Amino acid sequence: MTTFVIEYYSNEGYADLQTLNLMNNYARFLKQPLTLGMFVPIDAEGKVLKEPKNYKSWKSLEHNNRKDNDNSPNTSFEEYRIYQKAEENCLFEGFEVAYNGYSVVRIVASYDHSIELSFNTNDLTSQTLNDVESLTAFHEIYLNSNALKMIGIRK
């Protein structure tokens, strides 16, 4: 299905450009390789970040949830901003770290612990599933607003 949509989009011209664009975005989204950072916040080296203390309360404050606060001189909340930036790279909701070992990180869905994924710590890729489309093997996986924006469904 995804290969067809990508090929159709590139060869059919401008029939219904908005629909074709959404189909193309969605197909490309489904073909992305699974990485750990799509599920839980990680740093630049690929290490899982621990949620800062009282992060949800800090993030709920309107002035902390704006994108324009990146250049704020207040460094006392730098840990919060780093976590927030890493969280913006996540595409799926409700995942938590179940095990963080030397060579493997195992995550589970907080809403269904039977949904479990393992990632290699050296390249941060899934040990069992190749791409986003392979997640259809699970009954429920929830996209967050970042994923929907990437597809073009919400802004």
Question: Is 63 found in the same domain as 18?
Answer: no
State how far Cα 111 lies from the chain centre.
Answer: 17
**Would the pLDDT of 96 be above 60?**
yes
What element of type H or E holds 10? helix 2-11
> Which residue(s) pair with 48 in the sheet?
42
pLDDT beyond 70 at 155 = no
Count of positions (residues) in the chain: 155
Give the H/E segment covering residue 28: helix 17-31
Q: Do residues 146 and 107 both lie within one domain? A: yes
- What are the two backbone dihedrals, phi and then psi, of residue 109, each rounded to the nearest 5 degrees? -75, 130
Q: Is there a single domain that holds both residue 117 and residue 43?
A: yes
Shared domain check, 52 and 78: yes
CA distances from 18 to 12, 50, 56, 138, 144 (A): 13, 40, 36, 29, 22
Q: Which of 3-7, 96-100, 126-130 has the lowest mean pLDDT?
A: 3-7
User: 105: buried, middle or exposed (CB in 10 Å: 19+, 13-18, 0-12)?
Assistant: buried
88, 147: one domain: yes
Least confident range from 10-19, 47-56, 65-74, 128-137: namely 65-74
142 in the same domain as 87: yes
Regarding whether 131 and 102 lie in a shared domain, the answer is yes
Q: Residue 33 — very low, low, confident or very high, per pLDDT cuts 50/70/90? A: very high
Task: Give the structural domain span for 109.
Answer: 32-151
Instruction: Share the mean pLDDT of the chain.
Output: 84
Instruction: Read off the pLDDT of residues 49-81 as tens digits, 9 standing for 90 and up.
Output: 998 887 878 877 766 665 545 555 555 688 888
